[in-house]
Amino acid sequence: MKRLCLILCLLVTPAFAVQPDEILDDPALETRARDISAGLRCLVCRNESIDDSNATLARDLRLLVRERLLAGDSNTEVVDYVVGRYGEYVLLKPQTGGANLILWLAGPVMLLLGGGIGFVYVRRRAGGQGRAEAALSDEEQARLREILKD
């Protein structure tokens, strides 16, 4: 029974991240605010949205989002404002264009490059052993067999 209560408490705690005094009176604006804040990263908590975080900075960001919405900004304008103020790190899903495209492609490119280098190395090494044995004359091969018998 205690475990069940503990599990239920742990599942419900993220729901309390948005405080009742933060909730907007207009349900449409509140829905927009929740959508925006679900895509913004808490700068204190790693990989947690500001909507789910209990950190003070996350609360400030939630209030900032709601203030911008009340001022009449669109969702894109609010996100651009927050990104302009805190940097692109604040986005939970970073953009895949521009300079970030290099970062997105660097991993797969390095993997393919490393695999190619490894493949070439193994092929050359395997081919080199066969050539060394073939380069021996009949006398050298006989001498080698004689040495290996001892």
pLDDT at 2 exceeding the cut of 80:
no
Structure confidence at residue 147 (pLDDT): 92
DSSP 81: H
pLDDT of residue 4: 62
Judge whether 41 and 91 are in contact, CB under 8 Å.
Answer: yes
Say which CATH architecture domain 4-90 belongs to.
Orthogonal Bundle (1.10)
Percent of the chain with pLDDT over 90: 22
Q: Considering all CA atoms of the chain, what is the largest pairwise distance in Å, rounded to the nearest integer?
A: 97
DSSP secondary structure string for all residues of 8-62? HHHHHGGGGSS-GGGS-SSHHHHHHHHHHHHTBB-SSSTT-BTTT--SHHHHHHH
Which one is predicted more confidently, 22 or 149? 149
Average pLDDT over the chain, rounded to an integer: 82
Report domain extents, the chain: 4-90, 100-149
pLDDT confidence of residue 13: 47
pLDDT of the residue at 26 = 77
